[in-house]
Structure 1
């Protein structure tokens, strides 16, 4: 891909995650945690300059597992909530 071309967006409800780590094992550990929380498992692994690993993972954010669903629900502001009193 030419660096001047815009990167294609994933389909709605999905996210592309890039993990860069010094070792393949470290990248896999992070990918395993994401797979525990989100559906989808399309994974591609590439070497990085200097001997590291770059792992690309596509996750389905519309179909979350229980840990992610709980976190996502807790991180959303209540419906109809305005700014906090200390916010402009």
Structure 2
């Protein structure tokens, strides 16, 4: 008889997420979507039973992820980084 893995409940405001997929790329894509919405820990990767990948991560359900800057905002030069008045 195999031992049953004890289940622990995450701290208040956190959720443990398990992603199982055939390919590591598919599992990472789902984890990336979660990271766009929730702050979280680094994912931990394990082989899935049979063949595939299992990812574990913890997300903070009370803290939003840092909003990604738009392409337009990210492509602008910082203030004061333009040409100087003595440059041609």
Q: CA offsets, 1:31-57, max 9 Å, x none?
A: 000000000123111001222001011
CA distance in 2: counterparts of 1:51 and 1:33, whole angstroms: 23
In structure 1, the partner of 2:62 is 62
How high is the TM-score relative to the length of structure 1?
Answer: 0.66
How high is the TM-score relative to the length of structure 2?
Answer: 0.66
How far is 1:6 from its partner?
Answer: 4.0
* Structure 1 pair 11–42 and aligned structure 2 pair: CA distance change class (3 A): farther
Runs of 4+ more than 4 Å apart:
none
Relative to total residues, which structure has the larger helix share, 1 or 2?
A: 1
Gapped regions of structure 1 (runs ≥ 5): 68-88
Are the counterparts in 1 of residues 39 and 66 from structure 2 also a CA contact under 8 Å?
no
Gapped regions of structure 2 (runs ≥ 5): 68-88
Aligned to 1:11, the other structure's residue is in SS state: coil
Q: CA offsets, 1:53-80, max 9 Å, x none?
A: 010110000102489xxxxxxxxxxxxx
What is the root-mean-square deviation of aligned Cα atoms in Å?
1.9
